[in-house]
Chain A
Amino acid sequence: MKNIVEVKNFRMDFGKKTVIRDLSFSVKAGEIFGLLGSNGSGKTTTLRALLGFYTPTAGELLIDGRPYDPEDSSVVVGYLPEERGLYRKETVMDTLIYFGELKGLKNPEEWALRYLKRVNLLDKAKEKLEKLSGGQQQKIQLGVTIMNEPKLLILDEPTKGFDPVNRRLLMDIIDELHKKGTAVILITHYMDEVEKLCDRALLLKDGVARAYGSISEIKKEFGGKSLDQIFIDIYGEENE
């Protein structure tokens, strides 16, 4: 299967501090890939470098064989970043339509209404975003991320702050996209989500890959332990 993301010998320094060291991995088209690690392990930095916000100190980060540019890329990318926000003074509908137009949707209004119905926020369409709860705002952000049916979906802790009902809803949406052929890079601290959704994963610690492969390969490497236990084994020592 073709690689949609390739990271080769990626190194990232901030001043004298090295955050990522010689990191290499790939994400295959259509798979769900878990990018795992404790806080500060370098996950978000890797994604930001992949999307061009950081210039890597060394190495290559490619999407569909070339550095990412939102307008020159042949691959449609949806990114739900760790830093969340929206135009707080704008209405839900105006925001969705604006992003729909930015992403070249033919009928963004129709899409917005359909999505709001799906996530039970149709009654909030005319509300200003600042009036919505954190979870409701997150659903709008997710809508913005997936509205143009991306071929690569990057989700940085998408379920953070969600109640179980909404977590399930989000999982279903990710699963639907996956079935349509979307590749997903998922950053999460919930190992049950990884076990349920991910085909392969990379575990990062201090900017170095500690484990990489299919979920079953990783489990096998760690003596058949659950992902939860593997996570605790790798990162638990940080807190000791």
Chain B
Amino acid sequence: MSRIKNSATFAVFKFEFVRQIKKPSFWASIILFPLLIFGFSLIAFLVGKDSATNVEKYDENSTIAVVDEARLLPEEAPFVIDGGRERGVEMVKNQEVDLFFYIPADFSESRNIEFYHISETIDIFNAESNAIRAILSQYLTANLDPAVVVAITGNFNVADNPLTSSGEPSNALGQAIIPLVFLVLYFIFLILFGSRLLMTVVEEKENRISEMILTSVSAKHLIVGKIFSMLLLGVIQILAFVLPIIILLFVFRDNAVISRIISLIVVNPTNLILTILLFIFSTFFLIGASTFVGAVVPTAKDASQFIGPIVIGTVFPLYFMQLFLMPEPGAFVEFLTYFPLSAPMALMLRNAFGTLSMPGFLIGLVEIAVMSVVIIRVTIKTFVKNAINFSLVLPKFARKRR
């Protein structure tokens, strides 16, 4: 008997996989989707570059300290301190000053200035860095001889040294790269497979075949077979998206930008495992939500009314990216982090931006895992009971509005 059960699940898996992979639309999406992602990323980059970023915290009221080993500034200037670079860094760590600038002895040759500040955000567009440069110029202009100002600010390079609030060197971007890669993969899966799964489940009802098939195979094996076929298709799609990127990174690994990005990547084993688990559970939750709708509604047309809200609910946190970049998440971000539909993406964003505590991460993981199991089990039961529901029965209040 168990051989028949397993072969039935495998038969569903094979049938669904082969018929999807035969569709031209599947291959078209493999080619088109990376292009679309690239296009949207480019637009987001161009728009984001000009938009306001989290730099309001630096203004004329920011406190600064400068260690001037090049002896360019008058010693009586109020912001010039003694004690070398270490003392300045300590002052930032202890939050005695907001910004610390270090002008090395060889400044006249190197033209390099280092600056230190607490930063929990990712300064993708150098907005924070530019704001700090402006603050330095402002201080110097207000306090010094114009000739000295020109000598320092006329042409210099900056080396940004952000620190975490605990005083450790901060590499927020490097730490975000791997979680963000998984977020992108989840987004791809959502866009490409959310509706496809739903349509696959609703198809038996749409084609009036559910009664016949459910006397041959249990709903559990039917749904499980469908889910695994979609997962394999998703893996193929993701590989088609990721492999060219990996190959390009490898081929151009000596390129300055690419080698810098690669060198930035931080691999924290514990976080990597949790991130992978979050991705897997989130994918199962998405599958559960899509198949549940497919199990409840009678036709693909009815299903299409529901897939939109699922997608919007899932990507909702992306609309509030700015809030997720804040070092201290507000109540709204906390709500999105644990609200069922938005939880996967909110957790992924907060994991990427380093604003998720370990207990918070674990609570979110358990929540999504439990919800996935519950929703898939409910889907299987619902599928049988709705197998012969050939028209959408809405609650009374919805029928009136219709």
Which residues of A come within 8 Å of B, CB atoms? 48, 51-53, 55, 69-72, 77-81, 83-90, 94, 98-99, 101-104, 141, 144-145
Contacts and interface: CB of A to CB of B under 8 A. Distances in A.
Interface in B26-84: none
A53 B212 contact: no
Nearest to B203: A87
B388 A144 contact: no
Contacts of B390: 83
5 contacts: A48-B211, A79-B211, A85-B208, A86-B209, A90-B19
Interface stretch (B4-12, B118-126, B268-276, B347-355): B4-12
A195 to B, nearest CB: 28
B215 A101 contact: no
B384 interface: yes
B213 interface: yes
Contacts of A84: 208
Contacts of A83: 208, 211, 388, 390
B384 A71 contact: no
B155 interface: no
Contact of A52 (B3, B4, B209, B384): B384
B357 interface: no
B263 interface: no
Contacts of B388: 48, 53, 83
Contact of A88 (B8, B207, B211): B207
Contacts of B12: 102
Nearest to B206: A85
A99 B216 contact: yes
B391 to A, nearest CB: 12
Nearest to A148: B216
B105 interface: no
A86 B203 CA distance: 10
A99 B14 CA distance: 12
B292 to A, nearest CB: 19
Contact of B207 (A53, A79, A85): A85
A102 B1 CA distance: 12
A103 B216 contact: yes
A91 B221 CA distance: 23
B15 interface: yes
A87 B209 contact: yes
B215 A51 contact: yes
A145 B212 contact: yes
B217 interface: yes
Given A77-B215, A81-B212, A94-B15, 5 more contacts: A48-B211, A81-B211, A87-B207, A101-B14, A104-B8
B221 A85 contact: no
Given A102-B213, A102-B217, A53 B387 contact: yes
7 shortest interchain CB distances as A-B pairs: A85-B208, A101-B11, A81-B211, A85-B207, A79-B215, A104-B4, A83-B208
B214 interface: yes
Contact of A98 (B1, B11, B214, B215): B11
B218 interface: yes
Contact of B218 (A55, A71, A98, A144): A71
A89 B200 CA distance: 13
A147 to B, nearest CB: 9
Contact of B214 (A53, A55, A87, A104): A53
A71 B5 contact: yes
B214 to A, nearest CB: 7
A80 B217 contact: no
A144 B207 contact: no
Interface in B122-161: none
Contact of A70 (B10, B15, B203, B215): B215
B384 A53 contact: yes
Q: Which of B5, B209, B213, B384 has the most CB of A within 10 A?
A: B209
B207 A86 contact: yes
Nearest to A78: B215
Contacts of A78: 215
B4 A69 contact: no
A119 B66 CA distance: 94
Contacts of A88: 207
A78 B213 CA distance: 10
Contacts of A99: 213, 216
A101 B225 CA distance: 13
Contacts of A144: 212
Contacts of B1: 71-72
B207 A71 contact: no
B212 A70 contact: no
Interface in B212-231: 212-218, 221
B8 A102 contact: yes
A80 B212 contact: yes
Nearest to B1: A71
Nearest to A154: B215
A71 B208 contact: no
B311 to A, nearest CB: 25
Nearest to B2: A71
Contacts of A71: 1, 4-5, 8, 217-218, 221
Contacts of A79: 211-212, 215
Contacts of B14: 101
Nearest to A145: B212
A169 B207 CA distance: 26
A53 B212 CA distance: 11
Interface in B268-319: none
Q: Which of B1, B19, B211, B221 has the most CB of A within 10 A?
A: B211
A69 B214 CA distance: 9
